[in-house]
Chain A
Amino acid sequence: GAVVSQHPSWVICKSGTSVKIECRSLDFQATTMFWYRQFPKQSLMLMATSNEGSKATYEQGVEKDKFLINHASLTLSTLTVTSAHPEDSSFYICSAGRQGSSQPQHFGDGTRLSIL
């Protein structure tokens, strides 16, 4: 079964609104989670690293004030797309790895965000 849960799976909203996406590790603790963005027919690109109890680390070119990340517990990270615009429409995917493990991360099922 899924070990990383992402919610919602699909959201449509009007331009200018804010959208929150949740990523949960279901049966393990994750001090670090990752947020990726995937445009149609393209690969996954890392947006930011979410660190429990501290500020997220953003990749070059990703606006931290637009993509707010909160990792308040060891099992939950949230990504809020603020004042969303049509160009923010994409597939957002989170991943998490078991703390202290060398095993590969597990990915959520992604969130399809469509901004009208």
Chain B
Amino acid sequence: AQSVAQPEDQVNVAEGNPLTVKCTYSVSGNPYLFWYVQYPNRGLQFLLKYITGDNLVKGSYGFEAEFNKSQTSFHLKKPSALVSDSALYFCAVRDPYSGNTGKLIFGQGTTLQVKP
């Protein structure tokens, strides 16, 4: 079955330090991978995506993600965390059997807490 796993329920980091939010996937074929962010009492917002090409993908708000095919991972990173980055982060993969129907499979989410 296709799946996405986020092994950490919560990540704590001090402001100014680098952050990493982990994601691993299990899909058939080439994966289409995404990161979304959810701020309190808001809907999800798209951050970045990997379809093909360069393994390092840059997205919104200074975030980037590294695709690693051998480790089946797509970790979200940022060189210097801000308190305003505190939110719930979701990794997602396109359902490979859905074609272009937009069906995404989401991980369970990781809460990022950035402390001043």
Q: Do the two chains belong together in a single complex?
A: no
